[in-house]
Amino acid sequence: MSGETEMGRRSFLALVGGAISALTLPCDKVIALETRQTAVEFNQSGYEKDRKMKNRLLIAYGSRCGSTGGVAEAIGQLLSAAGAAVDVNLVKNVNDLSPYQGVIAGSAIRMGKWLPEAVEFVKTHQDTLSRVPVAYFAVCLTMKEDTVENRRKALGYLDPVRKQFPRVKPLDIGLFAGAVDYTKLSFAYSLILKVKGAPEGDFRNWEAIRTWAAGVSPTLDGGRWGRTKASNRKFE
């Protein structure tokens, strides 16, 4: 066997061994290892024209590589342009919900679940969230193709959150495609995606995101939640 062939065989075996190791890691370990030590820009903003408005809406999100932050920012921009006062923040940086009359909480999906910090956000603030209008959203590769079956599967990713915190009843749930950039993923998680044949690219459908945001746009009438026919769906 030539040296070149032997090196190729060793590389292949190393890749297979790494993939098997990654696939056998517990979900929480894979999620914890996911992001490399590289700079990832996360969106956190409040819109200047909204500063003095009393009725405010919070968009709180969990993200690993930034693509869910882009979705949250797009939702915030549309709602602000429609007349709402909006803050966009990472869930882990939100400590007080008292300034807000409505909350949109979302997360990237990893290993078929919301990120742990997004779940913790709902757990920590469930008393308040049970008293104000709430919507959820999820960002996942499953929604790369928006089919009935994929929507059913993606909606199932939120079942643990909804069952664990039944007092928090989302008025609507947004399901959106995300983006995959292997340079921003841990070795373990990138191997899992490659073994599953996950394509690399940005699959976010900005029109679908804006349409959903318009459907759950809050009114400024006493901070009550406005809904259009576009978002009038049942999730029970």
Tell me, what CATH number does 117's domain have?
3.40.50.360
Q: Which residue has the tokens 């939702």?
A: 75
Cα-flanking dihedrals φ and ψ of residue 109, to 5°?
Answer: -100, 125
User: What angle in degrees, to the nearest 10, is found between the helix axes of 3-24 and 187-195?
Assistant: 100
* Per-residue model confidence (pLDDT) at position 226: 45
Q: Count structural domains, the chain.
A: 1
Burial 179-207 (b: 16+ CB within 10 A, else e): bbeeebbbebbbbbbeeeeeeeeebbeee
Task: Please tell me which residue, 190 or 73, carries the higher pLDDT value.
Answer: 73
Cα–Cα separations (whole angstroms), residue 152 to 7, 149, 219: 45, 5, 29
* Per-residue model confidence (pLDDT) at position 208: 95
- Taking all residues of the chain, what is their mean pLDDT, rounded to a whole number? 76
DSSP reduced 3-state for 106: strand
31 in any annotated domain? no
59 in any annotated domain? yes
* Per-residue model confidence (pLDDT) at position 84: 84
| Cross-strand partners of 134 | 103
130 in any annotated domain? yes
For residue range 54-112, list pLDDT tens digits in order.
678 999 999 987 789 999 999 999 998 888 889 999 999 999 999 999 999 999 998 89
* Per-residue model confidence (pLDDT) at position 221: 33
First to last CA, the chain: 62
* Per-residue model confidence (pLDDT) at position 43: 56
In a 13 Å sphere around the CA of 1, the CA atoms on its Cβ side amount to: 7
For residue range 152-168, list pLDDT tens digits in order.
999 999 999 999 999 99
21 in any annotated domain? no
Q: Which residue has the tokens 């576009």?
A: 230
Instruction: Check whether 150 has a pLDDT greater than 70.
Output: yes
| Cross-strand partners of 185 | 35
For residue range 28-39, list pLDDT tens digits in order.
444 444 444 344
**236: pLDDT confidence band, cut at 50, 70 and 90?**
very low
Cα–Cα distance, 201 to 220 (Å, whole number): 38
For residue range 119-144, list pLDDT tens digits in order.
999 999 999 999 999 999 999 989 99
9 in any annotated domain? no
33 in any annotated domain? no
Q: What is the mean pLDDT of residues 196-214?
A: 84
Q: Which amino acid is at 143?
A: M
**191: pLDDT confidence band, cut at 50, 70 and 90?**
low
25 in any annotated domain? no
Which stretches of 48-194 are assigned E, i.e. beta strand? 56-62, 85-90, 100-110, 113-114, 134-139, 172-176, 179-180
Which stretch of DSSP H or E encloses residue 46? strand 45-46
Cβ distance 140 to 107 under 8 Å?
A: no
Range of the domain at 119: 39-181+199-225
Cα–Cα distance, 39 to 26 (Å, whole number): 26
22 in any annotated domain? no
Cα–Cα distance, 222 to 140 (Å, whole number): 34
Task: Please tell me which residue, 188 or 214, carries the higher pLDDT value.
Answer: 214
